[in-house]
Structure 1
Amino acid sequence: MIASIPVDDVAVPPVVADLARGDAVRAVWRNELGGLTFELTGARERRFVKWLPAGARADLSAEAVRLAWAAPFTPVPRVLDAGSDADGSWLVTAALDGTSAVDPRWVARPEVAVRALGEGLRALHDRLPVEDCPFAWDVRDRLTRALTGGRDDPATWHPDHAHLTVAEATARLADVPTVDRLVVCHGDACVPNTLLDDDGRFAAHVDLGTLGVADRWADLAIATWSTQWNYGPGLDDVLLDAYGVAPDPERTAYYRLLWDLTP
């Protein structure tokens, strides 16, 4: 399953209907784990509910803690509620001003959006204090998961990696590049997780469930890759220029492979 805006009717989980308390409920996103994001609008404050089915490979309580930690330093959603039941888990956040970078208006103006993505990622990396961050997105932990419980079927890998055997991919991942610069990484710096203001400037980040300290290329490799999926080829250098860093093919290739094979 590929993350996308739902185009069909979506069944609203009972807990989401309860949280709406009579407000209108609109499905705005479906992720690759089968999770759904709903916008709630009406008499109350506009808000969003992320919902994951029971057994999904994610932890919304971890995201709630990370959002609360990051909020004093950078624009992220304000947590209103979080919980779980036998059917799944949920996270309720206050709405932010801005639109997703995959909104049609920005898909039609990709260079504007990509510059904002680069500037926003640099702002995140500069603002969040590494020395005070209690969370890690450690390459060794990710490597262990990739090598012991990851996606070990090349047929499920991105076309960039599908030519590799499991042994070849494992050997490449074992050769971890030296750290360029430690930062507090977003952890999922894909295009949809950046909001832009009406002028096309960076406004905020969302979906910080794996935020943690790591080499900045763990984010940059995926941010640039994601521009290809969402806008088309040829925009990697636009993002890197806006961020303020030269291309690094070695680290980019490593962190894209690690991302592809990490569950």
Structure 2
Amino acid sequence: MSIPLGDVPIPERVLALARGAALTPVWENGIGGLTFRTDDGRFVKWGPRHLEASMAAEAERMGWASTWITVPRVLAQGEDRTHEWLVTAALPGRSAVDPHWIARPEIAVRAVGSALRALHDALPPERCPWGWGVTARLANAAERGFAVPERLHDPPSIDRLVVCHGDACVPNTLLDDTGRGIAHVDLAALGTADRWADIAVASMSTEWNYGPGYEDLLIEAYGVEPDRERLAYYRDLWDAT
């Protein structure tokens, strides 16, 4: 996943959804999906249909989570035979990987860690209709043809069951100008699981975005001591699925 560089062809569907607004590409994911910002306060996501998670699932999850946390408001969602799209209202704040925060990694990492803890504390697992636990993730991986190593079929016991973000990589937290986490985006995989499933990925992603040395800082900001066994397991599960 990265910020697109150079000229990015704009799909016809995105042009139609923009309704004449100017478009700026802001993100490209690993399966060819694109996200554009409009000049009238919207974001347009477009990409190929994918078995891991869908934009319809994301829209449904954002609607549910909005009762307790700040997430983008869904304006439109749809799909055709090969692609899907999602239009949301822009939120204030900047991604934790905005150049402003890349230059201030300690502030950003602490904000992401504390914001992840706030998400876990706010969302009620007993009321969440979706699961993101190991069994569900292994089944999804099998459906997509992934051969997951046998050792990953024996997970650690659950430390604390929460509603996980499902893709808690640092770009998916928005920060205000003071360096406080204020919102979460990309919630297509949101569901109940051990909190370490999110903590492992969030802390691991600090190295991808800020360089080495920040993993334990995020965990400290979350408010727990590093659990090396669970961190290793859930990172390996992330890589395998």
Same fold (TM over 0.5): yes
Q: 1:88 to 1:126 in 2, by over 3 A?
A: same
Count of matched residue positions in the alignment of Structure 1 and Structure 2 = 241
The correspondence for 1:256, drawn from 216, 235, 240, is 235
Kindly provide the amino acid, as one letter, of the partner of residue 63 in structure 1: E
RMSD, aligned α-carbons: 1.5
Q: Please name the residue that 1:38 is paired with.
A: 36
TM-score (norm 2): 0.95
d(CA) in 2 for partners of 1:170 and 1:195?
34
Q: 1:248 to 1:147 in 2, by over 3 A?
A: farther
Distance apart, 1:170 and its partner CA: 1.9
Q: Please name the residue that 1:4 is paired with.
A: 2
Distance apart, 1:149 and its partner CA: 4.5
Q: Please name the residue that 2:74 is paired with.
A: 79
d(CA) in 2 for partners of 1:148 and 1:47?
34
TM-score (norm 1): 0.88
Q: Does 1:240 align with 2:219?
A: yes
d(CA) in 2 for partners of 1:187 and 1:57?
11
| Mean Cα deviation higher: 33-42 or 141-150 | 141-150
Q: Please name the residue that 2:200 is paired with.
A: 221
- Consecutive unaligned residues of structure 1, counting only runs of 5 or more, are 153-168
Q: Does 1:103 align with 2:82?
A: no
Contact 1:146 1:258 in 2 (8 A): no
Distance apart, 1:23 and its partner CA: 0.7
For residues 120-161 of structure 1, give each alpha carbon's deviation from its aligned partner in whole angstroms, at most 9, with x where no partner exists: 000000000111111110211212444675544xxxxxxxxx
Kindly provide the amino acid, as one letter, of the partner of residue 23 in structure 1: A
Secondary structure of residue in 2 paired with 1:75? coil
Q: Please name the residue that 1:197 is paired with.
A: 176
| Mean Cα deviation higher: 169-178 or 202-211 | 169-178
State, as a whole percentage, how many aligned pairs show the same letter: 61
Q: Please name the residue that 1:129 is paired with.
A: 124
Kindly provide the amino acid, as one letter, of the partner of residue 93 in structure 2: G
Q: Does 1:140 align with 2:135?
A: yes
| Mean Cα deviation higher: 222-231 or 236-245 | 236-245
d(CA) in 2 for partners of 1:212 and 1:57?
13
